Amino acid sequence: MDAFLPTSAACPDTERLIQAVLDREHPVSALQNEHGRACPACRHRVWEATQLLTALDQLAATRDVSLPVNFADRVIPVILADQRTERRSQQRRQRILAACALAASVTLAVVFFWDRFTTTAPGSPPREITSLATPTRSETPPILVSAQLHAMRDTLADLTRRTAAETLAPAQTLLPDASPEPVTPPTPRTPTTDSVATLADVPEAAISGLEPLTGSAERAWNLFLRDVGFSQAPKPKF
């Protein structure tokens, strides 16, 4: 109620009444009351508000808002033309969408079948199944203890040779004439199969090569064979 209404010291009731008239809650005639005539401030405010209300009514009445002649006849063809255009553009959008969907489907199908026919032979299981298949027991290579030992030995020998060569390299630069004797790598041994599991399986010829020649040595050997259980001979008497 600040700027529009109380420029003068009008009574609050009068200001509320003017606001109610402006909001069309009361007719304009409600402003003409006894207090409005008696109170000078309220009388001025009521007069001013009445003038403004009258002007607002005149403002609404003075504008020429009469429709042009045959306005609907002009509007209807425009609406129909717009509907035809809209329908055509909608059909175009649907065709474009259908073409895009078809292209996407064809692309997906091509990618799928290309991958399927280029990576697997006909009749064989798919690649993923082959890679995940568990190998059979017959395909598993046997693990030989001797082969493992030989591999360890060769690795250790290689490491020793390399370390020795690196250690001697500065010394060779100081003594250019002292060419070290080339280290000949040992001939690799072919891994032997673990044909024996216990000493009982050792051949007779190999055992005979181990037999001692002296009597004390023979006794000691016999004692050893008896202790380990390979000899059926009676315990010698000392």
* Residues contributing to the site for another protein (CB under 8 A): 2-4, 22-24, 27-28, 32, 43-44, 46-48, 50-65, 67-68, 71-72, 74-76, 78-80, 82-83, 86
Rounded least distance, CB 80 to another protein, Å? 7
Residue 75 or 151: which CB sits closer to another protein? 75
Q: What is the DSSP letter of 31?
A: G
How far is it, in rounded angstroms, from Cα 36 to Cα 11? Answer: 9
Taken in order 149, 155, 161, 163, the sign of the CA dihedral is negative
Q: Which is nearer to another protein, 11 or 144 (CB)?
A: 11
Q: How far apart are CA 70 and CA 73, in angstroms?
A: 5
Q: Which is nearer to another protein, 32 or 107 (CB)?
A: 32
Which residue carries 């020998």 as its tokens? 157
> In sequence order, which residues have a C-beta less than 8 Å from that of residue 28 and are 6 or more positions away?
21, 50, 53
Query: Tokens at residue 236, please?
Result: 């010698």
- Residue whose C-alpha is closest to residue 14's, from 61, 39, 181, 115: 39
Closer residue to another protein (CB): 68 or 236: 68
Asked if 156 contacts 122 with a C-beta cutoff of 8 angstroms, the reply is no
Q: Which is nearer to another protein, 50 or 222 (CB)?
A: 50
